[in-house]
Amino acid sequence: MKTANTIHITANGKPFSLPAGKSVADFLKEIDFEPGRVVVEKNLEALAPSETGETFLEDGDRLEIVRITAGG
């Protein structure tokens, strides 16, 4: 069910309903990802880590989130 204060997004293929006005960084923290330790693509556009706090989610957004790992 959709209300004026709720948006629906898809992240890594899973649907999420959340309050309107959340930034990408807010959402990442809610799902236990550290914003500086992941690469995020929003609607097919890569976001720099510094952009996640100032990029707000909108109804219908699609995110792909990949953890950054180090090693060889």
pLDDT at 68: 82
Phi and psi at residue 21, in whole multiples of 5°? 95, 10
Closest CA to 25 of 3, 68, 57: 57
Structural domains in the chain, sorted by start: 6-67 (3.10.20.30)
Q: Is 6 left (phi over 0), alpha (psi -120 to 50) or beta?
A: beta
User: Mean pLDDT in the chain?
Assistant: 92
Per-residue pLDDT tens digits for 1-12: 556 699 999 999
What is the three-state SS of 6-42?
A: EEEEEECCEEEEEECCCEHHHHHHHCCCCHHHEEEEE
Whole-prediction pTM value?
0.87
Phi and psi at residue 19, in whole multiples of 5°? -65, 145
Per-residue pLDDT tens digits for 38-61: 999 999 999 998 999 999 999 999
